[in-house]
Structure 1
Amino acid sequence: MTQDGIGAMEIDTSKPHPARIYDYLLGGKDNYEVDRKAGDQLASVAPEVWISVRANRGFLQRAVRYVIESGVRQILDIGTGLPTSPNVHEIAQELAPDVRVAYVDNDPIVKAHGDALLSRAGSTSIVLADLRDPLSVIDHPEVRRVIDFGEPVALFLVAILHFIRDEEEPERIVATLRDALPAGSILVLSHATDDFADDRSEAQAVYNNATASMNLRPRARVEAFFDGFELVEPGVTQVPFWRPDATPPAGSEEIGFYGAVAVRKD
């Protein structure tokens, strides 16, 4: 059997999954005991993770509003994770009802939840595909149904690239996606870092038994993902300080997430 053009995937509940750990840390219910245990282990060695995931979520929401205010009406959100309201399409379509959104994730549980919420015949859809094979995402017929790559697209890679190992060439993956985007497209990206902590090896170790490893990267590596794009102010910064709409919470200076938004050059 196949699903969305790729081999059907079994749901593995014996190992924690990053999307389900993230859901737990956000206070969601779409997770298993193994995910909650991993989340608690992570918080025990990196207690700022509780405000970090919420700060990252806030960055995502502000970035969606920036995209819509910029006039872009198509969003490709890769590594979307489990639905957490307000979702990208809910924020975007409240501001501009004609926005089209394609969600992509490699977790069958994420897709199952997405299918329950979204109409495949409408302007929003969810696809089961893997970021590590970016051409399979770009060329997916359901992505192509929703997204017209002849017009500007907002590409969201939020809290996903740190699950790509160096040997899987994350820079190549982003460059492949970038090259499919026309001028005027927007990249929204956030990435975990240990620049603001003395040692995060214990935090990374939590993901050693998960379905994807955690690969923290410094600011210079994160900035390199924006090659071919022009950063909008304030550039690459910790997520709570990217165009905040309220005073960032106490402890924000410890948050180990970089975030930025950039526009595709001509």
Structure 2
Amino acid sequence: MANDWLELRQHADTGIETIKAHFEGHAFDPHWHDSYLVGITLSGTQQFHCRRQRYHSRPGDAFLLEPGEIHDGDAPVEGGFTYLTFYLDDRWLTDTLQGLYDATPGSYSVHFARTLTRSPQLVRAIGDTFSALHNDEMKIVQQSTMDGLLAQITAHCQWRKRVPSQIQSAAIAHRARDYLYAHMGDNVGLSDLAAVTGTDRFTLTRCFKREFHLAPHAWLIQLRLAKARQYLAQGEQPAEVAATLGFADQSHLGRWFQRAYRISPAHYRRLCTNLPDVSRK
């Protein structure tokens, strides 16, 4: 859309990525992130699917998504929507919040009780933190707003115990996922995953979709895209990233990246690093 726009910054000290954007019509395809996503809708109506539900986020709403949660984005109302968001590293958030609780075991992880919430205090904390990081305020201001945000988040999260699943289908899905993590740049087939998990291709796909809500091939693409963001933010060239992660070529990576994030790999790299793009077009 001609009226769509996106601002992206990457905070130098923490690596936290801040995004402010406006979309009209279709915003982005279903995808997931490997970080916690925290944001607010500033104007219009943002429609998205997550946790098998459809949500409508309006001004004054905060949205909270966990790593791996699949979500999309659309503007169902004329004029589109504007939002701001940032991504908090899984390990950093868990370790930091554990300091606010007494003797929390390492086998627990942070779980957001609700995907969409209307809390003026949380919305204000998100907005203040975003402004401090996005505009590169003084370090003491940044850290103070981050502390304020973390204090607010504790009222909207729970500790969820990480326990090995006793359900056979979940165990199969998790073994397949671990294999894809270890071989994300390889030309992996369903037959390979079936052999690793000790089952057949059809059972494997059924178990995987039940656990992760995506077929193995679609989940692998999302994993590669998440890793591509990391490599690009570190300054690697799009062509190199595409080759490392098993995309057919740079154009193939670019098509998937644009569909998921509404920005090209080269543009994303430039925003994160301020380095010129010298790769082939």
Same fold (TM > 0.5): no
Provide TM-score, normalisation by structure 1.
Answer: 0.24
Provide TM-score, normalisation by structure 2.
Answer: 0.23
The higher relative CO (CA closer than 8 Å, separation ≥ 6) is in 1
Q: Which is higher, the Rg of structure 1 or of structure 2?
A: 2
